[in-house]
Amino acid sequence: MACLAFGAIPAVAIRAARDFSISREEDCWGNWSAPDTLDTLMAIMTRSMEDRCRSEVKGLLEGLFGECTKIEGASEEECLQDLFGWFVGDKRLGALTARLASAPKEAMLWAGFYDGDPRGLNQTALEAFADMVDASIVHPSTVLGRVVQKNNDLLGCRDDPGASTPCFKEWRMWDKGPVVNFWTGASQAFVHGMALRKQSSVVAVLNKGLDRMEKWSLHDSVFWNYELPTLGNEVAATEPTDFPLQLLLVDMRGTCEKLAMWVTERLEEQDIVSVGIWLSIKPIICIDCAEGQCHLDEALAARVRSCLGVDGSLSSPVSPSCPRFVYTLGMNLARDLPWFPSQR
């Protein structure tokens, strides 16, 4: 079976002529060529931030630049250009950036694991579970993830308006501010890394509530705001009948019925027809793992492996141990299209 062909999201075309009704002084930099020093790059990207966010983003840029220059054949100039493009929202994925996001095993997504969780659902437990399903969490198992973790996961930028202040004011359509641009590019790089490994499935282990008003809501997570939209965009960029990727969710809050519906809707925001066809062929599998019902252990890992057909133990498509959820609206819109796949 062919694997989903992930690739870079096409860049928004840069207009040849600028509207000079907005002065250059409002932009963080005067042109689209990267600064020639790291210090200048850090200064312009953090100029609108408060102290805590500024410190974390400077550390992030310094760490990424240091790791980039270690790549064989990479020059400081290339690394500065890649980082500059990344942080101003250029959607063309730099080759050096992608290499920083390469995972040692198949990538597993996650949200909501932290030290002090009452169920012990911290990153140590998550990493152990990833090993059980022969996967690695994209953060911090990659170079990119480790640099982010070293800089407090950019939590100091959570409520900082400077994090979402665009460098180039006239191109707000894609320049959403340095931190937003960073997370968008990082998610794109992680998804591209999955493509390089020709992953046929993606597991996402989630330990966040669905209430938007909750302090640590799923809606405030990197998974929700960046990784899901990136996945939806990549699906939309493929051939309409070539969607073999299986998405499996493990819901540590036991809300699969609602979670699967919301994840479907989030994915369909990118392209309702393409995503609808994909999820009609490969419905989302969601395993409830509420407190007192199951644990992040070998038994759960065996169930995940069985649902994905790992070790030759594929469960039946109608197996109650692998609940499949079909909420998609896009399938209904696409049924009359000539290339819609037959379900017979």
pTM, 2 dp:
0.80
Please report which residue ranges of 69-94 form alpha helices under DSSP H.
76-87
Per-residue model confidence as pLDDT tens for the chain (344 residues): 333 332 322 222 222 223 333 344 478 888 888 999 999 999 999 999 999 999 999 999 999 999 999 998 899 999 999 999 999 998 776 777 778 888 778 888 999 998 888 889 998 999 999 999 999 887 677 899 899 999 999 999 988 999 999 998 877 678 999 999 999 888 888 877 776 677 889 999 999 999 988 877 999 898 999 899 988 887 887 765 555 689 999 999 999 999 999 999 999 998 888 888 888 888 999 999 998 889 999 999 999 999 998 766 555 556 788 999 987 665 555 555 554 555 44
Prior bond of 140 cis (ω within 30°): yes
Q: Is the dihedral of CA 32, 48, 176, 93 positive or negative?
A: positive
Q: How far apart are CA 183 and CA 125, in angstroms?
A: 24
Q: Dihedral of the CA atoms 227, 101, 108, 251 (nearest 10)? A: -30
Determine contact, residues 118/124, Cβ cutoff 8 Å.
Answer: no
Find, among 141, 185, 231, 208, the residue nearest to 45 by Cα: 185
For 212-276, the DSSP string reads TTSTT-GGGSHIIIIIHHHHHHHHHTS-TT---PEEEEEETTS-HHHHHHHHHHHHHTT-HHHHH
Where exactly are the structural domains of the chain?
34-334
